[in-house]
Amino acid sequence: MSSGTTELAWFKSSYSGSQGDDCVEVAIDGQAVHVRDSKDLARPAFKIGREGWSRFVRFASER
pLDDT digits (tens, 9 = 90+) for 2-53: 445 558 999 987 777 666 566 889 999 988 999 998 888 899 999 999 999 9
The pLDDT value given to residue 48? 97
39 C-beta neighbours (distance < 10 Å), count = 12
pTM for the predicted model, two decimal places = 0.73
Rounded distance between C-alpha atoms, residue 40 and residue 2, angstroms: 17
Residues 6+ apart with CB under 8 A from 43: 36, 37
According to the model, what pLDDT value does residue 38 have? 86
Q: State how far the Cα of 35 lies from the Cα of 26, in Å rounded to an integer.
A: 5
Whole-number pLDDT of residue 56: 92
Greater model confidence, 4 or 62: 62
Q: Which pLDDT value is given to residue 3? A: 45
> In the chain, what are the domain boundaries?
5-61
